[in-house]
């Protein structure tokens, strides 16, 4: 484990005797500006767009509101339709049920047959 | 004459505010503001690149850094973190040069020695120590040298070094520990008692 003082002395030594950085070429800065001038500037935001972000936020908010409203409409409207369809199905089933029940009742009703049999029986007996 | 890091490093709030203001103007396409940013940071970028890559192609590397900065400014999200971002680009440029640097290492060492011996200094001992530091740095791996240069020479805080390199702070501490140990051993071997 090294002593913190050793580290301090080492760092101080390194800073004191760090090699001097060679000077830049006299035309380096000019070369950099030339290279920058020839680079496309289109990636920077146009001046007019800098004003837009607040309006963009507002427009995004309004758009989101419309989407929510539309989504809500879509969410609730099918439920009403489903209710209507269910009601119709319910009525049809019950209507069929009523009709079928009537037919069954008619088919199982032997009153007329019994009456005819009774009438035949009366005619048969002298 | 080298510029002391404390003179150019944006370590207080007013400097960061000034950076933010300049960056915002640059993002509007203001080249004069970018010129100011260049003058604020070019010495520090130059110094870091020199410690990492040597003197050969130093001007080209500095130019590459500021070109990348100019092109990347529109994508900079956190304007207050400009200096961290700038160091990351500097490190990226240095890393890109690493392979070529490794191939020309012997040539680099010869050049840096020549540069040191050509310095106009009357104190031979001072020159000797400068040469030792340069050779000591060259002994380190690129990762260890990067951490040591950023933290010990450029005085970048460990947390910021971690952000620049995209590594945990613990790794920064570990690399710093090993880098200092290697340098200390080298200097002791060369007869420097610290």
CA–CA distances in Å: residue B48 to residues A35, B90, B105, B150? 22, 8, 17, 7
For chain B, say whether A48 makes contact (Cβ under 8 Å): no
Size of interface A-B (CB pairs under 8 A): 105
In B48-173, the DSSP E strands lie at: none
With an 8 Å Cβ cutoff, are B46 and A24 in contact? yes
For testing contact with chain A, the best of B40, B79, B177, B194 (most A CBs within 10 A): B194
**CA–CA separation, B84 and B161 (whole Å):** 8
**Closest chain A C-alpha to B42 CA, distance in angstroms:** 10
Residues in chain A: 126
**CA–CA separation, B142 and B153 (whole Å):** 15
**Closest chain B C-alpha to A69 CA, distance in angstroms:** 33
List the pLDDT tens digit at each of the 194 positions of chain B.
Answer: 444 444 444 456 777 788 888 898 888 888 889 999 999 999 999 999 999 988 888 999 999 999 999 999 888 887 768 999 999 999 999 999 876 666 555 554 555 555 555 555 457 888 899 999 999 999 999 999 999 999 999 999 999 999 999 999 999 999 999 999 999 999 999 988 87
Domains along the sequence of chain B with CATH: 8-189 (1.10.1740.10)
With an 8 Å Cβ cutoff, are B74 and A32 in contact? no
């Amino acid at each position: 484990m090294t002593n913190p003082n050793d580290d301090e002395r080492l760092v101080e030594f390194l800073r004191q005797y760090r090699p001097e950085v060679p000077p830049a070429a006299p035309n380096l800065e000019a070369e950099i500006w030339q290279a920058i001038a020839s680079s496309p500037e289109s990636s920077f935001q146009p001046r007019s767009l800098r004003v837009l972000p607040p309006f963009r936020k507002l427009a995004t908010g309004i758009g989101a509101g419309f989407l929510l409203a539309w989504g809500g409409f879509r969410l609730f409207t099918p439920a009403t339709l489903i209710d209507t369809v269910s009601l119709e199905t319910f009525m049809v089933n019950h209507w069929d049920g009523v009709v079928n029940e009537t037919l069954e009742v008619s088919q199982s009703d032997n009153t007329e047959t019994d009456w005819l049999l009774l009438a035949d029986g009366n005619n048969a007996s002298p | 004459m080298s510029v002391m890091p404390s003179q150019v490093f944006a370590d207080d709030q007013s400097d960061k505010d000034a950076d933010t203001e300049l960056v915002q103007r640059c993002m509007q396409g203001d080249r004069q503001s970018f010129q100011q940013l260049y003058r604020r940071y070019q010495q520090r970028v130059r110094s870091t690149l020199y410690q990492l890559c040597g003197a050969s192609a130093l001007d080209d590397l500095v130019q590459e850094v500021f070109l990348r900065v100019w092109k990347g400014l529109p994508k900079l999200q956190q304007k207050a973190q400009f200096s961290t971002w700038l160091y990351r680009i500097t490190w990226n440029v240095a890393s890109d040069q690493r392979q070529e640097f490794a191939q020309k290492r012997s040539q680099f060492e010869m050049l840096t020695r020549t540069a040191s011996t050509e310095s106009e200094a009357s104190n031979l001992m001072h020159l000797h120590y400068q040469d030792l530091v340069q050779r000591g740095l060259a002994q380190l791996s690129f990762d260890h040298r990067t951490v040591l240069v950023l933290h010990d020479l450029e005085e970048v805080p460990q947390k910021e070094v971690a952000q620049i390199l995209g590594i945990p702070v613990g790794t920064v501490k570990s690399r710093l520990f090993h880098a200092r140990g290697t340098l200390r051993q080298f200097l002791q071997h060369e007869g420097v008692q610290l």
